[in-house]
């Protein structure tokens, strides 16, 4: 909704802040002290472009003959704001981290040596799996 209003304001050719607008035309203006909601303010998770060297929370992706791969630990509980890193170690097969929630950003499919980290911004239960090996499943529980 807010994004739509901002867009409408931009399309109308006036600046969002400080423009008094033209009398008689619909003009949306931010009120003093109001924060403009950024599109990513509602993100549940955010990818971390450069994974931390010593992540506080990590999931190791191992080779496993029964599932072809496994996430260890396959369940963890973290506080809001925590960065969790997945570390690929399987020398035989590639894997990925795909969330059940289709709005969340997924990892690429990678082999041993790859690292991928996300920050959890909203409390909830985040289930994921590997699309190549559906037996590989994991959960991150984020507590507020």
Query: Closer CB to Cu ion, residue 58 or residue 95?
Result: 95
State the nearest-atom distance from the C-beta of 115 to Cu ion, in Å. Answer: 16
List of residues contacting Cu ion (CB under 5 A): 69, 95, 130, 132-133, 136
How many other CB atoms are found less than 10 A from the CB of residue 91? Answer: 9
Query: Closer CB to Cu ion, residue 89 or residue 119?
Result: 89
State the nearest-atom distance from the C-beta of 79 to Cu ion, in Å. Answer: 28
Compute the distance between CA of residue 17 and CA of residue 111 in angstroms, rounded to an integer. Answer: 48
Q: 76 pairs with which residues across the strands?
A: 140
State the nearest-atom distance from the C-beta of 142 to Cu ion, in Å. Answer: 23
DSSP 50: S
59 burial type by CB count under 10 A (0-12 exposed, 13-18 middle, 19+ buried): buried
Compute the distance between CA of residue 37 and CA of residue 75 in angstroms, rounded to an integer. Answer: 33
State the nearest-atom distance from the C-beta of 114 to Cu ion, in Å. Answer: 12
Query: Closer CB to Cu ion, residue 27 or residue 110?
Result: 110
DSSP 115: E
State the nearest-atom distance from the C-beta of 137 to Cu ion, in Å. Answer: 10
Query: Closer CB to Cu ion, residue 111 or residue 124?
Result: 111
Compute the distance between CA of residue 109 and CA of residue 9 in angstroms, rounded to an integer. Answer: 40
Query: Closer CB to Cu ion, residue 8 or residue 134?
Result: 134
């Amino acid at each position: 909704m807010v994004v739509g209003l901002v867009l409408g304001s931009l399309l109308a050719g006036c600046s969002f802040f400080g423009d008094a607008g033209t009398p008689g035309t619909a003009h949306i203006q931010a009120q003093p002290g109001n924060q403009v909601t950024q599109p990513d303010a509602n993100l549940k998770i955010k990818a971390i472009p450069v994974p931390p060297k010593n992540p506080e929370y990590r999931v190791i992706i191992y080779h496993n003959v029964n599932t072809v791969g496994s996430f260890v630990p396959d369940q963890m509980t973290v506080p809001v704001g925590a960065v969790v890193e997945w570390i690929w170690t399987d020398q035989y097969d590639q894997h990925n981290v795909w969330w059940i929630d289709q709005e969340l950003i997924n990892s690429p499919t990678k082999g041993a040596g790859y690292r991928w980290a996300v920050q959890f911004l909203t409390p909830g239960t985040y289930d994921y799996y590997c699309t190549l090996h559906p037996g590989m499943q994991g959960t991150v529980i984020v507590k507020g």
